[in-house]
Amino acid sequence: MGQVPAATRTLRVLKFLAAQPAPVSLGRLAAACDLPRSTAYHLLAAMVDEGFVVHLPDEHRYGLGVAAFEVGSGFSRQEPLQRLARRQLADLVDATGESAHLVALHGRDVLYLVEERAPGRPPLVTDVGVRLPAHLTASGRAILASLPAAQVRALYPDRSAFVDRHGVGPRSLSALRVLLAETRQRGYATEEGEVTPGLASIASAVLDHNGHPVAGLAVTYTPGGGAASPDPVVAAVRRTAAAVSRRIGGRTAG
Amino acid sequence: MGQVPAATRTLRVLKFLAAQPAPVSLGRLAAACDLPRSTAYHLLAAMVDEGFVVHLPDEHRYGLGVAAFEVGSGFSRQEPLQRLARRQLADLVDATGESAHLVALHGRDVLYLVEERAPGRPPLVTDVGVRLPAHLTASGRAILASLPAAQVRALYPDRSAFVDRHGVGPRSLSALRVLLAETRQRGYATEEGEVTPGLASIASAVLDHNGHPVAGLAVTYTPGGGAASPDPVVAAVRRTAAAVSRRIGGRTAG
DNA sequence: CAGAACCGTCTCGGATACGAGACTCCCCCT
DNA sequence: AGGGGGAGTCTCGTATCCGAGACGGTTCTG
């Protein structure tokens, strides 16, 4: 648990609360975060004081407070990932002649953070701020492939999680697992026509310093559309993802 | 600092980072949060591990990480305040026959969280998700009036912070201070035609258990428009705000 | 080139924060 | 009524986390 248990636990509690659809009781929280009861009270009291948690006395529940919201929008305002990746994405576009983008995983969706369009390329459905189902996009698959299996399972508890856009793509957890295993084996993620018919993508994950994915980075192109073999694109995408990973002190994938 | 210093400090660091327009150096952070340097490293290491902070090694800066974003959107998903206040707002609308809403302060803006329209009343410019300058709205003024003076000053560092919509409203920090002092004296906040000409509002703040405002609650009406004196509305607004405050374990204002 | 300023890492001893546990309410069962 | 489960609060001793400080590296700056 590192060197600052109280801090780590506080953050874990925050993440746990953020993952809940509704405020939870202290019992569930303590159990889920593996906290002694008295410690849970200490922590929650501090979090309430700082406005990160609201206590709902007559429901015996704890929910997220407005400070949590402020922190979240602070991320959007600072755009640390955008700041880091924009230049590298532009270089990638120059090198490949194709459009590139950066996404973050958000629940089961990918959220487009940066988009660099190649001149003379068709506009994409994607745009900054747009969300798409992660399991259908190359960048989403790159992220999912770097997650522990347990987390993927938690994200996709049943078949209803597998929406599709054009009748293609995985429809079950086992199908997704096969896809992600192939992705890891291959060393990069792909998608062909599953987001937009006629367009394909190649993606790789940006990893932080303990190998957890923080973003996905992809190039979208028209397969067979005059472009040469995708091999140089693959190399460029992987190189760029590794470069961005390095800039956040992360490991380089694979 | 309560009983769990490490947790409290972690949260303070998060709030500080969230308030910065760009990633900051460790020196500035340690100074601003009044942390010993080595402690700051301990904390940041834990926060980086949990994904709440990104370290940008070649800029010597620390910024918010994706976990911060997830926590923020967790608040939006849970809607703890909305959950608490919706019913009370509906009762308020029934009692007054006027439209009512709940807002949170976000930077210098108020963000509309819940809106209950009274039947047969004109639609408002406000709608859930809309932002308006806090110093022009009644609910924003109610919140600002409950904040320590130092925080108000920090929010409005210079005249450029004072945008206006219809040429009315405070244009300087001192004018705002007078307005807020009047508000405190009066016991509730008002606004007349500063958001939309021809409409006025009466508001009161929702306070948490240490008296900090977490939301503002207002009724909007047409002044002199056939309605009786605003006194019963004032009483109803204050009663509702106190009721919501109580539901989050807060103090009742005044 | 010297010096200052800052960043990141590490060590280690003392103050203290954390966790076991006891206690009280309150609510929901039979 | 009696019993059980869970919430909230408090105490207290000790294992352990925090902070002073030293060290090395790098970047400015005069």
Residue B31 predicted with pLDDT over 70: yes
Tell me, yes or no, whether A252 lies in a domain: no
Mean pLDDT of chain A: 90
Nucleotide nearest A41, CA–C1', reads D8
Residue B217 predicted with pLDDT over 80: yes
Tell me, yes or no, whether A254 lies in a domain: no
Of B54, B71, B88, the domain-final residue: B71
Interface probe with A: pick from B38, B54, B206, B248, most Cβ of A within 10 Å = B54
Tell me, yes or no, whether B43 lies in a domain: yes
Indicate whether A173 and A219 sit together in one domain.
yes
Of A16, A46, A71, the domain-final residue: A71
Indicate whether A53 and A101 sit together in one domain.
no
User: Is-contact B253 B146, C-beta < 8 A?
Assistant: yes
Tell me, yes or no, whether A31 lies in a domain: yes
Residue A253 predicted with pLDDT over 70: no
pLDDT tens figures, A53-107: 999 888 899 999 999 999 998 998 898 899 889 999 999 999 999 999 999 999 8
pLDDT of residue B228: 53
Query: Which CATH number characterizes residue A25's domain?
Result: 1.10.10.10
Partner-chain contact B8 A63, CB within 8 Å: no
Indicate whether A182 and A96 sit together in one domain.
yes
Residue B253 predicted with pLDDT over 60: no
| CB nearest to B247's CB, from A17, A43, A56 | A56
Return the closest-CA partner of residue B74 out of A12, A45, A65, A47.
A65
Residue B230 predicted with pLDDT over 80: no
Indicate whether A207 and A108 sit together in one domain.
yes
Phi first, then psi, for residue B114 (nearest 5°) are: -135, 145
Q: Say yes or no: A189 contacts chain B, CB-CB below 8 A.
A: no
pLDDT of residue B130: 80
Residue A229 predicted with pLDDT over 70: no
pLDDT of residue A205: 97
Partner-chain contact A51 B78, CB within 8 Å: no
> Could you give the number of structural domains in chain B?
2
Tell me, yes or no, whether B252 lies in a domain: no
Residue B24 predicted with pLDDT over 60: yes
Sequential DSSP letters for B108-164: TEEEEEEEEPPTTSPPPS--TT-EEEGGGSHHHHHHHHHS-HHHHHHH--SGGG---
Q: Say yes or no: A229 contacts chain B, CB-CB below 8 A.
A: no
pLDDT of residue A2: 72
Indicate whether B65 and B90 sit together in one domain.
no
Mean pLDDT of B100-123: 90
Tell me, yes or no, whether A144 lies in a domain: yes
% chain A with pLDDT above 70: 95
pLDDT of residue B134: 97
Indicate whether A54 and A85 sit together in one domain.
no
Residue A238 predicted with pLDDT over 70: yes
pLDDT of residue B223: 85
Indicate whether B41 and B162 sit together in one domain.
no
pLDDT tens figures, A111-162: 999 999 998 877 776 677 778 999 999 999 999 999 999 999 999 998 999 9
CA dist A154 → A150, A157, A170 (Å): 6, 6, 16
pLDDT of residue A11: 95
C-alpha to C-alpha distance for A55 and A33, rounded to whole angstroms: 18
Indicate whether A66 and A140 sit together in one domain.
no
Partner-chain contact A10 B12, CB within 8 Å: no
Q: Per-residue confidence at B183, pLDDT binned at 50, 70, 90?
A: very high
Would you tell me the crossing angle of helices B5-19 and A5-19 to the nearest 10 degrees?
Answer: 60
Interface probe with B: pick from A15, A42, A58, A75, most Cβ of B within 10 Å = A75
Residue ranges near strand D (C-beta within 7 Å): A 3-7, 25-28, 37-38, 41, 45, 55, 57, 60; B 5-6, 35-39, 42
Q: Per-residue confidence at A226, pLDDT binned at 50, 70, 90?
A: low
Q: Whole domain around residue A240: which residue ranges?
A: 79-247
Mean pLDDT of chain B: 90
Is A157 in a helix, a strand, or coil? coil
Of A49, A71, A93, the domain-final residue: A71
Residue B226 predicted with pLDDT over 70: no
Of A38 and A124, the structure prediction assigns the larger pLDDT to: A38
Q: Per-residue confidence at A225, pLDDT binned at 50, 70, 90?
A: low
Tell me, yes or no, whether B30 lies in a domain: yes
Indicate whether A153 and A179 sit together in one domain.
yes
What residues contact B239, with CB distance under 8 A and at least 6 apart?
Answer: none
pLDDT tens figures, B131-156: 899 999 999 999 999 999 999 999 99
% chain B with pLDDT above 90: 70
Q: Which of residues 42-71 of A touch strand C (CB under 7 A)?
A: 42
Indicate whether A187 and A109 sit together in one domain.
yes
Residue A254 predicted with pLDDT over 60: no
Query: Which CATH number characterizes residue B116's domain?
Result: 3.30.450.40
Of A23 and B231, the structure prediction assigns the larger pLDDT to: A23
| Range with the poorest average pLDDT among A212-216, B27-31, B229-233 | B229-233
Residue B188 predicted with pLDDT over 90: yes
Indicate whether A201 and A225 sit together in one domain.
yes
Indicate whether A53 and A119 sit together in one domain.
no
CA dist B17 → A6, A78, A80, B20, B23 (Å): 19, 9, 11, 5, 7
C-alpha to C-alpha distance for A107 and A204, rounded to whole angstroms: 19
